[in-house]
Amino acid sequence: MDEKKKQRYLAIAEKLTELVGGKRNIQGVAHCATRLRIVLENNDVVDLKTIEDLDLAKGVFVAGDQLQIIFGAGLVNDVYEVFKEYTGMESMSLSDLKTEDNKKMNPVQRIIKALSDVFIEIMPGILAAALLTGLSGVLANIDFVQNNETLFGITRLINISSGAIFGFLPLAVAYSACKRFGGRPILGIVIGCIMLSNSLADAYAAAQGTVEVITLHIFGFGVDLVGFQGGIIVALLMGVVTAKLDIFFEKKVPEVIRLLVSPLLTTLVGAILLFTVIGPVGRGLASGLTGGLVWMTENLGVFGYAIFSGLQQLVVITGLHHVFGAIEAQLLADTGRNILNPLMSVAIIAQGGAVLGYLSRNYKDAKTKELCIPSFISVLFGITEPALFGINLRFKYPLIGGCIGGALGGAVVYFTNLAALGFGTTVVPGIALADPENNGYVSYVIAHLAALACGFILTFLFGTFRKKSLAAETIAAKSAGTATEASTDNADTKAVVSNETASTGKPVLSAAKEKLHAYTDGQMIPITEVKDATFAQKILGEGFAILPETGEVHAPVNGTIASVFDTKHAVCIVSEAGQEILIHIGLDTVNLQGKYFTAHVNSGDMITAGQLLVSFELNKIRAAGYDTVIPMVFTNVDNQPDMSGLNIRHVKQGDII
């Protein structure tokens, strides 16, 4: 790298470090074929807008815990090297990156991060269920809708749809957890199906004593055949266990019988553990939390009310909040009043206030709006899962603000002697259930406004404090000239196209000026239909993609292999005419760490069109839950090919594009 380029990249590194909150805020750095990936202590202090205008940057976004700046193939290598040197970061592999990041977390942080990772995966389904539930609750209380045959039928279908999604939530959690911890997602689905099997007694009916429970005796221990409806903790634990069992048996079972025996053993052992160990332990933990909260409201006066409403949403995380229905029904039968309903309602709206507090601090971020606004709407109808798992639990401090807001609302409920005359709805629809005695409707509104405002204000202030605290640390670090030791998170492996190769000085021709061959069999699709913004928005350049039917990628042109990734999921080629080409096998397949891939060429090899470059096990990659689309992108910055006349069709390897 010549001195002029190094100085330019150093200027980028200095400016980027400033825009991400200083060296103290940087936990780890790595890069893939096109993106510089930075793991930060606090993403809230990042100036995304200014980073977008950074020299040589083609785009920027935050994915999970990573800030990703797109520089493009070749260039990102040199920018990474200079940035790493400037910030004092170590060179790390993907596995090292994840290991070091986990080391910096205490057990509670690891649990919270795991919960966040698991539930972000299934958040669209939770949002759909929440909004459908809210809509169903509103329509069910409108006489015109109930008296109209068509509208009643539509309302009924909406109710069935929302109930089905929440009813199968443990299955979705088991699937997502299994995928998150490295197992095959389909085995997580299998375990989820076992948890909700029709051969088991319904968990809610069993809790109310309205269904007979069969007990088996295995090795002298009684095993109750009860389903795990609402068993989120159990589903989460089973997802993790299933993933570990899958990984273990995949390694230990001989390859000749692995396909049959490994999933069999994973499912069998997992099912036995579900009913004998994990199920009872998970249920015990969740029931203890639920029972303890109810005891507080009955024995600790205003403090009991405040503690219950402050912590009630933590029960929602376990999935055991549905058990409160039976307790509420008993309260109504014994006393004619239900004190738990308004306490749960203020706990819910306080979490909504926390969502608004977080939104107000990040209102410029489109993705934040996209998640926060529908989450808050669902809160208004009494559904907090989207808010909890999508935002508050994920970012931690909004959850704390929401819990304190709920506690304040609970105190207001106690002092106003507020109660409900029914159960089943909360927040906006729930006002219809409020006991009108002693200005009950007014008290209901006041308690909810207090909880909402407290959750909002505290979350906003916590966010401000965190930002100022981090800024102070950054200034102190600059003054002392110190840098933190790097930890790491999710990132692709090293990119391998050198800047010298990308700047060979050869004339860059469009794809139309040299014969371009199909690199695999399958259906071509426009690059804009690839389910990854970096490709779809053409940030890396023009191109197209193929949905593969075989597990082979062949050379599309004559040329030279600029690089083969360590994980073998991507190759970079410089054609004879100087065209720079990136072929990327699948989306996020870097996480497979080379599993299922075999490279047949090395960096620097001369290749001819049609030569086999990489073979891969297509079905196993799909079974692992990865999108197997293969984008091909022309990464030349100065001369992009005109793809407007591209004939989108089914192709065979070797066909002229």
Nearest to 486 by CA among 109, 120, 113, 80: 80
Active-site annotation holds for 372: no
- Ranges of beta strands (E only) in 42-107 are 59-63, 66-70
What the block records as the tokens of 308 is: 């219950």
- Cα dist from 524 to 516, 518, 558, whole Å: 14, 9, 21
- Cα dist from 262 to 184, 265, 268, 612, whole Å: 11, 5, 10, 31
CB atoms < 10 A from the CB of 532, how many? 16
- Cα dist from 375 to 158, 162, 230, 353, whole Å: 18, 15, 20, 11
Q: Would you say 296 and 311 are in contact if contact means Cβ atoms under 8 Å apart? A: no
Pick the catalytic residue: 32, 372, 403, 572? 32
Cα 481–Cα 486–Cα 492 angle in degrees, nearest 5: 135
Please give the span between the terminal C-alpha atoms of the chain, in angstroms, as a whole number.
36
Length of the chain: 657
What letter does residue 432 receive in the DSSP assignment? G
What the block records as the tokens of 542 is: 């023009």
Q: Is 106 exposed, middle or buried (0-12, 13-18, 19+ CB in 10 A)?
A: exposed
Give CA–CA dist 246/620, Å, rounded. Answer: 14
Give CA–CA dist 305/516, Å, rounded. Answer: 71
Give me the phi and psi of 11, to 5 degrees please.
-65, -40
Query: SS3 of 52, please?
Result: helix
Q: Is 209 exposed, middle or buried (0-12, 13-18, 19+ CB in 10 A)?
A: exposed
Nearest to 52 by CA among 40, 37, 70, 39: 70
Q: What is the DSSP string of 561-597?
A: EEEE-TTSSEEEEEETT--EEEEE-SSSGGGGTTTTE
Sign of CA dihedral 546, 549, 550, 556: negative
**C-alpha atoms less than 13 angstroms from C-alpha of 574 in its C-beta half-sphere:** 23
Q: What torsion do the CA atoms of 334, 339, 344, 350 make, to the nearest 10 degrees?
A: 180
Active-site positions read 32
